[in-house]
Structure 1
Amino acid sequence: MANEQWKNDIAYAMTPFKLLTWPIGVWPLQVYNIYSLIRCILATCCMSIIVILPTMEIHMGCTDAEQNIDSIMLIFCGVLGVLKTICFRIYAKNLTSNYGSARNDYLTIENADYRAIMRRYAFVGRILSCFMVCFSYFSVMIYSLIPLLGDDKDNQMNITDEDVVLEYPMPSRCALEYFGIPESMYQIICLFEFIVLILTCTCNHGNDSLFLNITLHVCGQVKILKASFIDFDVSSSQVNDRFNALIQRNSYLIKMAKELANAISFVLLMQLFLSSILLCIMGFQFILALKMNDAVMMGKSFMVLCTFLTQLSVYSFVGDYLKSQMEEIGLFIYQSIWYDLPVNLTKNIIFIIMRSQSPVKLQAGNFIVVNLATYMSILKTSISYLSVLRVMVET
C-alpha cells in the first residue's frame, strides 16, 4: 500500500514535466543514450528554423514594420528555446541529481505532514506549468490563425492579381521562394510552421516548467527542514546523531540549490536581456495599435507581452521565494530549543546561522539576482521608456 502511494506521489509530481521534456531530449531521469541525443538535435534543428527564416526575411527586405517586429519576436523566442535546450543538456548532471534526489525524497518520507508539504509544492508546480504552457499554446494557435484568416478585401484583390501574396504563420515568404518551395505546398508549409511554433513553446515553457518544478521541490524540502529544527526533540536518545543528520541535510539542500542556480545562470541572463527588449518593442507596437484602432495588432502584442511577463514573473517569484526560504533556516534554528542541546552541537549552530545569511540565489550571469526587486526594476524601466514613446507618438 505504501509502495503504491510512493508511486502515485512521484507520478503526480513528475509525469507532466516528463511529457513536456522527454520528446525534446532533456528529461533528467531518461537514459542519456544516442536516442535522447537525436531527439534533442531534432528539436534544436526545428527551432533553428524559427530563427533562420525570419532573419532571411528581414535581410531580404520583404517585410513591413509590423512583420519586422513579429520576426524579431520569433527570433528571440527561437534563440531562447535553443539556449534552454542546449544548456539543460550541458548541465544534465545537475538536473539529474536534483530530480533523482526528489524521487528519493518521495520514497523515503514517512511523516504525513511532511508528505502533505511535498504534495502542496508539487501542486503549485503543476499549476504554474499548466498556466504557462497552455497560455503559450493558445497564443501560438491564435498567432498562426491570423495570417490564414486574413482580410476579405485583401483576398478579393489578390484573386485578380497574377501573383498572390501568401501569408504564413511566421514571416517566411521570400525565404521559401529563395529555396524554391512551390506555392502548391502552402498548406503543408503552414502546418509545418505551426508545429515548429508549438515545439518552440514547448522548449521555452516546458524547460521553464521543468526547472521551476524542481526548484519548488527544493523549497519544500527547506520548509520541511525548518519544521524539523522546530520540532526537534532533545529528550529522546541519539541527540547528536539526529541533529548532525539535520545539519548534513542542510548542507545537501544548499548543494542541490547551487547546482540549479549554476544550470540556469546563463539562460536567465539571456531571458532577462531579450525579454526586456521585447517588452519595450511589443509595448510600443501595442501603443501604435491603440492609436490606429488595429484590433489584430493589439491582440498579438497583448499575447506576446503576457507570455514574456509571465516568464519573468514566475522566475522572479520562485527566485525570491528560494532566497527567503534559505535565509529563514537560521531564524528557525534560533527559535528551536538549541539551548538544551549539548555544547558541541551549539557550536555548530553558529556556523549554520552564519551560512544562512548568504543564501543561495538564482542569478543571471552570476551577477544579477533574479527576484521580485529585479522584476519591478525591469517593469519600471520598460514603462518609463514606453511613456516617452507614447508622448512622441501623440505629439
Structure 2
Amino acid sequence: VIGVGTMQGLFLTYGHCGSLDELIDAITTITAYSLGITKTVFLYLQQDRMRGVIASTIEDWVTVTDENHRKLMSRYAFWGRLGFTAQIVGCVPILIEVTFTRLPNLSPANASVIGRTMPLGPSCWAPGAEPTYVYLLTFYAILFGLYATGFVYSAADAFTLTLLLHLCGQFDLLTARIGKIDDEDDGSSYQKYQVIECAKRHDQLLTYMSDVNDLFKYVTLQEFMSNAALIVMS
C-alpha cells in the first residue's frame, strides 16, 4: 500500500497534471508491459525444458489411435481454444478503442496548453516543444507496444492454459487405461506389464507437470502481485 501510494504521488507530481483515472490506466498498461516482457523472456530462457513438454504434446496427438481418446483430447483442446478466444475478444476492443479515440493531435500548443495526445497516460506527458516527427515516432512506438503487449499477454496465457488442459486430459486417459487392466484376460504377466507401463506414464506426466509448474510459478506470482497492486490503486 505504501509503495502504491508513493507511485501515485510521483505520477501526480510529474508535470503537475493528469487525473487519477488516466494515471491508473497508464500504470495498468505499464504493468501489462512488464508482465508480457517477463513471460516472453522467461519462456525463451527455459526453452529447452519447454521443448520437451511441447514435443510430448505433439507426440500424444500423432500416436493416438483410439477414437474415444481422441474425442477426450479434442474436448480439452476446445477449452484451450475457447480460453484463447476469450483473451483476444477481451483485448481487441480495448486496443481498437485506444487507436481511434487517441489519434495523434498535431495542433500547435501555446505557452499554457499542451495540445498533443498520447496513447498512454495524460496528454501533458507529451512535451509540446519536441519536433513533430519525434512526437509521431514516440506515439506510434507506444501504440505498437500496446498491440504487441496485448497479443503477447493473451497468447502466453492461452498457451499455458492449453498446455495444462492437455496434461489434464492425459491424466484422464491414464485413469481410463488403469481402469481397464482388470478386464484383461491375457494372464497376470500381461497385467503386470500394463501396470508397469501405466506407472511409467504417470511418472512422465508428473515430470511434465513439474516442468510446467517451474516454468510459470514465478510469472504467476508476479501476475498476482501486480493485480493486487492495481486493485489497491483502484
TM over 0.5: yes
Match of 2:140 in 1: 191
Take 1:181 and 1:216, find their aligned partners in 2: how far apart are those partners?
Answer: 50
TM-score, reference length from structure 2? 0.82
Q: Deviations over 1:69-119 (max 9, x none)?
A: 122112211111111111111221222111100000011111110011111
Take 1:75 and 1:58, find their aligned partners in 2: how far apart are those partners?
Answer: 16
Give the 3 Å change call, closer, same or farther, for CA 241–273 of structure 1 in structure 2: same
Does 1:275 pair with 2:227?
A: yes
- 2:74 paired residue among 109, 116, 119: 119
Match of 2:44 in 1: 89
Greater relative contact order, per chain length (Cα 8 Å cut-off, separation 6+): 2
Give the 3 Å change call, closer, same or farther, for CA 228–278 of structure 1 in structure 2: same
Paired letter, 2:158: S
Q: Which moved more, 1:182-191 or 1:243-252?
A: 182-191
Q: CA deviation at 1:216?
A: 0.6
Does 1:141 pair with 2:93?
A: no
SS of equivalent residue, structure 2 residue 192: helix
Give the 3 Å change call, closer, same or farther, for CA 86–69 of structure 1 in structure 2: same
TM-score, reference length from structure 1? 0.50
Match of 2:61 in 1: 106
Q: Please list, as runs of the form range in 1=range in 2, the aligned pairs for 1:138-177 lying within 5 A after superposition.
A: 138-148=93-103, 161=110, 164-171=114-121, 177=127
Take 1:118 and 1:82, find their aligned partners in 2: how far apart are those partners?
Answer: 31
Q: What CA RMSD, in Å, does the superposition of the two structures yield over aligned residues?
A: 2.8
Query: Deviation above 6 Å: which 4+ runs of structure 1?
Result: 56-59
C-alpha contact (below 8 Å) 1:122/1:213 kept by paired residues: yes
Match of 2:168 in 1: 219
Q: CA deviation at 1:177?
A: 3.4
C-alpha contact (below 8 Å) 1:125/1:209 kept by paired residues: yes
Match of 1:235 in 2: 185
Q: CA deviation at 1:165?
A: 1.7
Does 1:61 pair with 2:15?
A: yes
C-alpha contact (below 8 Å) 1:57/1:173 kept by paired residues: no
Match of 1:77 in 2: 32
Give the 3 Å change call, closer, same or farther, for CA 160–269 of structure 1 in structure 2: closer
Give the 3 Å change call, closer, same or farther, for CA 132–160 of structure 1 in structure 2: closer
SS of equivalent residue, structure 1 residue 148: coil
Does 1:202 pair with 2:151?
A: yes
Q: How many residues are treated as equivalent by the alignment?
A: 220
Paired letter, 1:118: M
Take 1:230 and 1:125, find their aligned partners in 2: how far apart are those partners?
Answer: 27
- 1:257 paired residue among 205, 209, 232: 209
Q: Which moved more, 1:191-200 or 1:103-112?
A: 191-200
Take 1:182 and 1:120, find their aligned partners in 2: how far apart are those partners?
Answer: 55
Take 2:47 and 2:231, find their aligned partners in 1: how far apart are those partners?
Answer: 31
- In the alignment, structure 2 segments of 5+ residues that lack a partner are 1-9
C-alpha contact (below 8 Å) 1:57/1:174 kept by paired residues: no
Q: Which moved more, 1:167-176 or 1:211-220?
A: 167-176
- In the alignment, structure 1 segments of 5+ residues that lack a partner are 1-55, 283-395
Take 1:270 and 1:59, find their aligned partners in 2: how far apart are those partners?
Answer: 27
